[in-house]
Structure 1
Amino acid sequence: MRTLGNVIWIIFGGIFIAIEYVVASIGLMITIIGIPFGLQSLKLAEMALLPFNKRAVQSDAASGCLSLIMNIIWFFIGGLPIVLTHLLFGVLFYVTIIGIPFGNQHFKLMRLAFSPFGKVVINRGSN
């Protein structure tokens, strides 16, 4: 199901979401101040390209207070529109039974977009 889900995801818009995140990342990385936020955008792009094989987990090396501060800044600068977009698409996919797995992936991306600092993206089979 993961492979088929990823192929369908890519064909019906997943590639465009990943490209959007990469372009946003390049735009953020133009300035030195935006580099940490650009790296988080790349994390979202990685997860958006093949979401059925990935999951986001808390990093062991998360730097507590700094991650919290960066997540707050991220949320107000760019995270809120991303979260709302994934929420909208998740709800729209939930309207049909066939779209529920894709809605789940949008909700997974929404959770990562809410607070990407201090999290790492891993393959589902990895520990």
Structure 2
Amino acid sequence: MRFLGNILWIVFGGLIIALGWLVVGGVLCLTIVGIPLGLQCFKAAELTLAPFGREVVYGGGVGSALGNFLWAITFGWMFALSYVLAGIFNCVTIIGIPFGMQAFKLAKLAWAPFGAEIL
């Protein structure tokens, strides 16, 4: 199911969303101040490309908490909200529930990427 889910995810929009994360991350990395934010975008792009069969482990300390707070009030809320809405729309049908669950996983990462590790 993991392989088939990832293929369907990529075909039906995952590739385009991952490329969007890569572009945003690249633009942020053009400035010294934006490099930490850009690296988090690359992390989100990695999970967005193939979310099935992977999980996110959250950790970190004060620095991660501060980074997540700043991220959430600037960009993170928009990204997380879009993933939550996509998850709700996917969960309307029985077939879309696995994709909706992946969207909710991505929403959590989009809300708080600092200190998160993708396994």
TM (norm. structure 1) is 0.91
Which residue is equivalent to 1:17? 17
Which residue is equivalent to 2:64? 67
The answer for unaligned runs of 5 or more in structure 1 is 123-127
The residue type paired with residue 65 of structure 2 is L
Which residue is equivalent to 1:30? 30
Cα distance per residue 1:81-116 (max 9 Å; x no partner): 000100110000011110000000000000111111
RMSD: 0.8
Which residue is equivalent to 2:47? 47
Secondary structure class of the residue paired with 2:52: helix
The residue type paired with residue 80 of structure 1 is W
Alpha-carbon separation, structure 2, partners of 1:34 and 1:12? 30
Which residue is equivalent to 1:91? 88
Question: How big is the shift at 1:56?
Answer: 0.7
Alpha-carbon separation, structure 2, partners of 1:76 and 1:30? 21
Question: How big is the shift at 1:52?
Answer: 0.2
The residue type paired with residue 79 of structure 2 is I
Alpha-carbon separation, structure 1, partners of 2:58 and 2:94? 31
The residue type paired with residue 95 of structure 1 is V
Q: Aligned residues: percent identity?
A: 46
Question: How big is the shift at 1:58?
Answer: 2.4
Secondary structure class of the residue paired with 2:57: strand
**Counterpart pick for 2:74 among 77, 80, 103:** 77
The residue type paired with residue 8 of structure 2 is I
Query: Aligned pairs, how many?
Result: 119
The residue type paired with residue 14 of structure 2 is G
Misfit runs of 4+, over 4 Å: none
Which residue is equivalent to 1:104? 101
Which residue is equivalent to 2:8? 8
Secondary structure class of the residue paired with 2:32: coil
The answer for unaligned runs of 5 or more in structure 2 is none
